Structure 1
Amino acid sequence: MMQFKQVELINYMLNNKAKVLTSQQLADALHVSIRSVKTYISQINDSGKGKVIISNKNGYMLNIPIAKSLLEQENKLVPQTYEDRSNYIIKLFFLNHTNCLDLFDLADDMFVSDSTLKMDIKKMNKRFKSFNIQFTIEKNNIKLTGPEKNIRKLFSYILYEEVDNHYMDLQVLKKNFVNVDVDSILPIIRKAFIKNNFYINDLALRNLLIHLIIIIERIIEGKTVSNVVLPSFDNEAENLCVSEICENLEQQFNIRISSEEKNEIYMLFKSSTNLVINNSMQDLTLLVGEEIVHQTKELVYLIKRQYSVDLDSENFIIPFALHLKNLLLRAKNSTYIKNPMLEMIKSQHLILFDIALFVSLQLSKRYQIIMGEDEVAFIALHIGGEIERQKNNNSKVSVVLLCPSYMKIESRLYNELLLNFNNDINIVASVKDTLQLEDMNFDLLVSTIKVKPKVHCEIAVISPFMTQGDKFEIQAKIESTQNNKKKKVLKKYFHDYFEEDLFFVCNKSYDMLQAIDLLTDNLLNMEYVRNDYKENVLTRERAASTAFGKIAIPHSVEMNAYKTCISVMISRSGIKWDKQRVNVILMIAINKQDNNAFRDLYESLAVIFSEENNIELIKECDSFELFESTLKSIIS
């Protein structure tokens, strides 16, 4: 992103009728030195796709088409809203590895006044209050203070928000990998999976797709890798599926896929279909060697320590270790591949690219190699893909399959679970005995034997050959687990959403509008919401009442609050709400950055307060402390 003075310089030259301007004229117009003007011009020319400002013996001329294109691109990068600016500020703290930023330089960079920026900082303290960090302004410097652990959690939060569900969208892949017919690969994968009765969800399909695109490009460019060790994979169904994919890719792209690359694709197939059971890590070690597996795990540890981002999953480790092996071979042979997504990743995923850069520096130090930005961007793709997978699985029930290994029954049950319940579950492991469960974290155990595990979880006992009755049993346990998880959301984040200053006991005869007035006015006074919040709440209410049973959950049609929070009003006698009378009002204000939390929040409240007994308990609460203890007691 260009500096304010650089943009001002281009605009001045665009608006000036003179074709050629001297450095002195430009310096006078910008109120800077001639030396500064020359520095700005050099920086502008470095940031453009061509020479933006041309110099000759008479002065400087503007290349108008390129200048206009650069300004248009710049406008897209400049943060436009408070939310965008607050995220940008946090990213700057992160990327500059500092806890101090110059207020005036920052205001110039974002084309806002220093007073606007000061207001943004005030709002940021409210928005990120739950992280127990503080943004302060001292001597025209913005400072970020707080425990290092909390600051890293904040950076991690912003990173996860940055990686959205369109990170590796199909259209993005097609736009960037123009040399590969992406559309022709998808039917090949889908046909092989359906024919061999394997399941793959859309996210896993995209992850597999991008790895195949990279392999195909590498082969087309003649940059294949020779085989070192060829492990033998004895699962006939999996081998058949992978062989079919490889044969069709060879025919489609007129290439030859070596045994080495076929084994890579086999491992990618295993991780993409969640078939990460039994011997996957042993197979990986045979394919890439102990050193690379160890190095991959070491990098996972360092990323978690440095950035509070947990990538410790076989779904990440397997494909990344495969990539790392090829990366090191390319570096050793001084061969490199172009990454067409480099500019997109650098401009749109700053923190992600910084983490990838951190990884590349570790590898450069460890193996004495030089890595270009294209390789760094490939690392970013792997990290971003895993973060996207985690976000996609957060709302799912984590499942462990317990099944003694006999006639490959565990593989068949594993696949049947995916085929029938993949939208609701994330299978984290398949184990043979209860001893393996002790250090695991999961929600539901699906077992072919009756057990009493030491860990607390729901249990569905099924037969080795899944029947319709077994499916009903699993579905019932999934729904029970989902409801319990929704309740726990409120307990875990209670103090992030609820505050004593947002709690009211109503002893008067209020109606709906009076209750909304009181709650919204209080939120406005606390500067948690915008001025149009009340009208947006009423707009939502006019569209359809938010009351059900004896509770109302009013909220704005826009998710633009400064801070996500819940205002509470309790009335023993009840408040007339449309055609109903409610005893509990929970007014939700949502910040755009927390929009993913809205559904979980709403459903958590609905699950708890849909039960008559819970309403009766809550409506007796006459203090915030009693409300907190009662709600947590209900959840427990």
Structure 2
Amino acid sequence: MELNQNIYRILKLLAESDGKLSLTDIEKQLKQSKRTLYYNLEKLNQWLLDNNFRPAEIKENIVSIKQENKNSLKALIKNRTFQDYIFSKEERINLTILYIALSEKKVTIDFLKRCYDVSKNTVLNMLVDIRKNLADHGIEVKCHSKGGYYFSGDEREIRYVVMARYFEMLNNGIAEGAQDILQTAVTHYSKHEMNQQLLRQMEADVHSVEDYLQERFFSTSVYEIVLYILMIYARNCKKKVLVLEKSQFDDSDLLAAKTLIESFVKYGIKIDTRESTYIASVLLSCKVFDMDEAMYSLDLSYQLTSDIIDIFEAKMCVKFNKKDEMIQTMLMHIKPMVYRGQYRIKVRNTIFWEIKNKYYELYQITKMIMNMLSAKYGIPIDKDEICFISLYLGGFLDQRNAETTGKHILIVCGFGVGTSLLIKEQIMQVLGEDNLYEIKDVRQFNRKDLKKYDLVISTLNRLEDNQILYVSPLLTEYQKQKLMEWELKNSENIRRDKIIPQEILNIVKTYAEVEDEQALVNGLKNYFMKKKDKLESVSKSLMDILEESNIIIYEDNESYTDAIYTACKPLVEKNVVTKNYAKSVLNIMEDYGLYFEMREGILLAHGKPSEEVLRLGISITLFRQPIDFFKWGKSIRVIFMVATTDNHSHRQVIGDLLSLMKDETVIQQLLMCNFKDNNEIYNYIKKILER
């Protein structure tokens, strides 16, 4: 039996984890239903047996493979030729784009038929889909009788698309196909066998440039720089050269690019020297910037970062206390992001789907903000960049100011500050806020650090040390359990605000004989941790706080100022907000405009958490006559008025409102306002959200 994409990805997840994953984690990462997952696990076990491996075990919601199988399976996955893999339609499209752009082979219909073992009609339909996909990028797919298919269009855009598809295949666990195409092409052109050892040498050359110029690239970007250079070389061999205006770059940037071009000659990779400007743009896109604070206000990146924070506060009804710290931290990502947008350099994001699904409302709000600012500043910002920005915002949104009296814990990360902040917050949910948490880039980490800290946690399993606890950017249930076991073993004092399993154990021992006390303590701790997580992480939903009496149908026409007071009135009467809340909402409008027009004619209005808010609440006002917000050239018929006391409790409410706004029928029903009373509106919204 051959591996299909779903079985392959389950196998890869297990092989690259600690050998254990919960069914819930696999469902979320692969976006499979439980029924589909069980079916694929059954097929996986059949494949394992066919290949002389012990089958995976499923016990108490945990899927596990034997430790002795793990390394063998890793090697098998790594060495498996991608031609043996059964590709999905999307994977065939991605591979074909790479073939056309990079391969030394003549890409024809017959070639693609043989490659995927499909019919001519399937290939033709696939090419139609590719043409549609690439049309948005201004790229045409053409065919030459002698050379086969090729791309015509802006070379910068072609390269962006190629690397986006390449990284997508790497992220989806189909790395072999993408790597085979690129490395085979480079091997053919350079006459040097491309292998892992050679790629590591190339990475060392990139590090040498860092040392020579005293610059630093993001640790996860070094390998991507190597891939970009190989892609550039393959494009050069197809007689495609990209030249940018030299005046856009400093002498040091051009020197770094020239140094890299020269260092790759020894591998037979002779890149056109005119590419130095484009390579300089790649390096700028991966560079860690340490900008002088006095220059911030003069920098476009500073203005963009400041706008992101201000608009996020306004849209999400939150208040950040350390804006200067936020700006300085976010600039580490924003500065190279601006270069990536300007020069169309693709960044790799390995956890896009996990972030989008787990933090849906945070991602959607960030997406709205970044799309608006992309138009304002004229800088393309893609979904992966938006995802990273949402991580930064989410990390600062959840920061606490508790004094630390506990253990000293180091988090070693290679994904960037935004992801590090997210990991820190997840670890804090398990180990608590009274520990001292420190974050280091992997290249700042020293083995001596193991003696300085009570616990070292890393996202990079290549560090390979028994004293280091490995976690993924989104912690699995198994990894949370390992953290909890460490805490039980090492905690001298358990905080009073925690439920102490030992006390419960003593009660149990009074009435029953306990065979394994430690196992019972672990089980109790795991249970209460999950309960605590649920209470802390789940904010109230829209229907939890929406009352029928807080829904108004307003018949008369009035000014936009009076409309805001009208929308606040039910909340004032229910002691949700004070009388001054409407004024604070209007003040924000004066500063930011209609900061959250969810859809045309529908406004989400709110102030910031302050003494004017007494508790979480929402009102909904439907106006029979449209309200003229003439200052902003808008006509509004629906106002959702939200009030919150903090940065957290209303997140699910925002998520529910976003879900409503995805439904065109709901939007039209609200705008037409054909409801007879507030009870009908309440039941209508409840029915939609319960679907």
**Shared fold (TM-score greater than 0.5)?**
no
TM-score (norm 1): 0.32
